[in-house]
Amino acid sequence: MTRSSSSRFSIAAALALPLFASAAAAGDPASWPVSYRSADVGGLSIAYREAGPPDAPVMLLLHGFPASSHMFRDLIPEIAGSYHVIAPDYPGFGQSSAPAAEHYDYDFATLAETMNAFTEALGLEDYTLYMQDYGGPVGMRLAVSHPDRIAGLVFQNATVHAEGWSSEVVAQLSPYWSERTPETEAPVRAFLAPETTRWQYEQGSTRRDRLSPDAWVVDQTGLDRPGNDAIQLEYLWNYRDNVAAYPAWQAYLASAQPRTLIVWGKNDPFFTMDAVTGLQKLLPDAETRLLDAGHFALETHAPDIGAAIRDTFSQ
């Protein structure tokens, strides 16, 4: 390379640097790779994924059953340019601690306390909550306990209405909730089976070619860990406490009117469109996006959901 060509290259590179810097400043998701971290919370190791500018608004991603923060792997790149994204694994899920059931209360009040302590350990003063499935009862407890911290809500296939449940699922769970016996537990154990885990992803999905088998394989690996069945049965039994709390959560939403996005896989075999109608009545100003998808709509519609988040909360 001649001196003149080298000089031209240096000038061109120098001119290009501000362009790269401005792209990062504008929030280019490619500028924010995902980091995998853990935090000590009351003696538990809580694993979490983190991405985005540290000074950006926080979005806390709360996963469902039987998933983990792995379910957000496609959404995080969609929103990391606009948000400081935090996606934890609950105790008993993903890479977080999974103490035996006799050493941790696997109910949703305790889980919400752990997640609240997690946010405080990370110094998160306010955040938008993204709630899917189990994320609903966890997030609603955080919102009711600390309404001043809530910048917004995203409901994705997470109900706060009893009417929003599929009658078939209620028929399986109600006897267990009423009286916990080996006989009532047997149908609930079916939720832990490999074929059920896969079914949760495939049922209602209209883009089967976009469903990665990694999703249900990762989930099932977690379910199959020694002792994890006892953990999950505790969570499923204690889910009845969430149904009892629905009126309080509805009252909070009706009073606080947080900025809300409802994004929903409308073919969900667990939570029906009545759940959406109930939320819309409570939150008349909420933005609603219905997707031709199932319970785990992120598996096939992450770009659509990411766009809906950016559109709704940038206004």
Which residues are known to be catalytic? 295
Tell me the sheet residues that pair with 185: none
Task: Quote the CA–CA distance of 291 and 134 in Å, as a whole number.
Answer: 20
| Listed residue (170, 219, 174) closest to 193, CA to CA | 219
Element (H, E) at 20: helix 3-25
- Greatest CA separation found in the chain? 84
Strands in 127-132's sheet, in edge-to-edge order, are 35-41, 44-51, 84-88, 58-62, 127-132, 150-156, 260-265, 287-291
Q: Show the CA angle centred on residue 235, arms to residues 167 and 170, nearest 5°.
A: 10
Q: Is 214 left (phi over 0), alpha (psi -120 to 50) or beta?
A: alpha
Task: Quote the CA–CA distance of 206 and 194 in Å, as a whole number.
Answer: 21
